[in-house]
Amino acid sequence: MAKPLNIALLGTKFMGKAHSNAWLTVDKFFSVPRSPVRHTIVGRDVAALEDFADQWGWQQWTTDWKAAVTDDEIDLVDIGTSNDVHAEQSIAALEAGKHVACEKPLARTLDESRQMVQAAKAAPGRTFVWYNYRRVPAVALAHQLVKEGRLGRIYHVRATYLQSWGGPDTPLLWRFQSKVAGSGAHGDLMAHIIDMARFVTGDEFTEVTGAIEERFIRDRPLVDNPKRTGRSSVDDAVLFIGRLKGGAVASFEASRLATGVKNSNRIEIHGEEGAIRFNFERMNELEYFDASVEPRLQGWQTIQTMHDEHPYAADWWPDGHWLGYEHTFVNQAADILRAISRRKVVVPLPDFADAYQTARVMEAVILSARNRTPVRLSEVK
């Protein structure tokens, strides 16, 4: 029997469900060194919290997050709350000696992110960030192909994350309030594709050469009174171009107002010896171009990434039986449990220090957009 790992999960909404499902499922499919125990769920709405605990099998619930993260019985604190409390909750959990898994983006601001990194350095617990798209088998395979040198020298990195749900009728949710979210499409979507680019290429940004930050919808209906409006204080779309240490040039775009697009998370990388393309809307496929074969045989091939040889696939279904969004969290939960036990993970996990590098790029993008100037990453500490 694997040793139990008691978990306290903070947050019961979108990510609360995704994380609960991951901890519920992971040891049913993966052979993990620690057995996750859904010990304590934390939320603010007592009635909804009790129902959530019953539905997802949490042993107990509380509205007091500080008591939960300092509970001697808790081993791992999983943070799925809004961005404004990531830093406070993570630091409290680390100071209490817990392992911490935090949702992305790391925090609202670079300063808060830096405080989290410093707290992690001084604490005995391991840290993790839920950049779950690293755990899509196709994205993990792309990382492996680049690491094996199959693309050779990389010339171009281009990525987009487009959604359309943020139109003028969308109410003033917390995601449109900078004091809670920190940013809009930038932190919500752009963070994912910056992390994905860093992960797949194994390279780091040296410069944001230029950027645009745009807020199309200035006023939105209030959640509790749709006849009245409140001011949106975050971006709706952000675009930037930049450079990586290895010499590649990059272009990125994130938007919540890409009409007709539901969840298009895409990355395309071109190298001297090959290229790859990925689109989350076809998440079980990776497109690969091998420039090393003779010209008459060259062409894009579509790799269906549900084969036992592909990352994570062997622990799921027979070949050709597809995975979905929820499985990315289960895959990450498996690697978190391995990492806590000092076991080998399938592909690298982002910790707070890793996620801080993504936060630095995000900060450089906003500085570039607002000052209309290039920003070198060496200037963003």
Structure confidence by residue, pLDDT tens digits, 303-351: 999 999 999 999 999 999 999 999 999 999 999 999 999 999 999 999 9
Task: Reply yes or no on whether the pLDDT at 1 is more than 90.
Answer: no
Compute the average pLDDT of residues 183-193: 98
0.85 cut: is pTM over it? yes
Compute the average pLDDT of residues 2-31: 97
Going from the N-terminus, what domains does the chain have, and what CATH number goes with each? 3-129 (3.40.50.720), 137-371 (3.30.360.10)
For 62, counting Cβ atoms within 10 Å of its Cβ (0-12 exposed, 13-18 middle, 19+ buried), the class is middle
74: part of which helix (H) or strand (E)? none
Are 18 and 326 a contacting pair, CB within 8 Å? yes
Say how many residues make up the chain: 381
73: part of which helix (H) or strand (E)? none
Task: Reply yes or no on whether the pLDDT at 95 is more than 90.
Answer: yes
Q: What is residue 369's predicted lDDT score, i.e. its pLDDT? A: 98
Instruction: For residue 59, give the nearest of 13, 8, 25, 99 by alpha carbon.
Output: 8
Q: What is residue 133's predicted lDDT score, i.e. its pLDDT? A: 98
DSSP string across 6-51: EEEEE--SHHHHHHHHHHHHHHHHS--SEEEEEEEEE-S-HHHHHH
Task: Reply yes or no on whether the pLDDT at 298 is more than 90.
Answer: yes
Q: What is residue 2's predicted lDDT score, i.e. its pLDDT? A: 85
Task: Reply yes or no on whether the pLDDT at 134 is more than 90.
Answer: yes
Give percent of the chain above pLDDT 90: 99
Average pLDDT in the chain: 97
